[in-house]
């Protein structure tokens, strides 16, 4: 997989995570961005060796919610 393709997938999933936080927890966009971009989940998503980028945004969101201890 080319770097450009990988970056696109990561960005697509990241956008989904932000959207889910905004919708489910009524967070303002900047707060949702902050939570995602400061998360260990994003670091793992950006690490090709974890394979997390191969999962759906919904799957990764569950992982993020556990990390952030959200209900």
Domain boundaries, the chain: 3-68
In whole angstroms, how far apart are CA 59 and each of 2, 3, 5, 28?
A: 23, 22, 20, 22
Q: pLDDT by residue (tens digit) across 34-60?
A: 999 999 999 999 999 999 999 999 999
d(CA 6, CA 24): 27
Coarse DSSP helix, strand, coil percentages of the chain, rounded to the nearest 5 percent? 80, 0, 20
Give this prediction's pTM: 0.94
The reported pLDDT for the residue numbered 20 is: 98
Q: What does the chain come to in residues?
A: 71
What are the structure tokens assigned to 23, written together?
A: 């919708």
Query: What tens digit of pLDDT does each residue of 4-27 get?
Result: 999 999 999 999 999 999 999 999
């Amino acid at each position: 997989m080319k770097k450009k393709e990988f970056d696109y997938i990561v960005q697509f999933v990241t956008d989904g995570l932000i959207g889910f936080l905004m919708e489910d927890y009524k967070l303002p966009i900047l707060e949702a961005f902050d939570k995602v971009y400061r998360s260990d989940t994003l670091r793992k998503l950006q690490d090709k060796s974890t394979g997390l980028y191969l999962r759906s945004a919904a799957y990764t969101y569950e992982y993020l919610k556990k990390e952030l201890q959200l209900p």
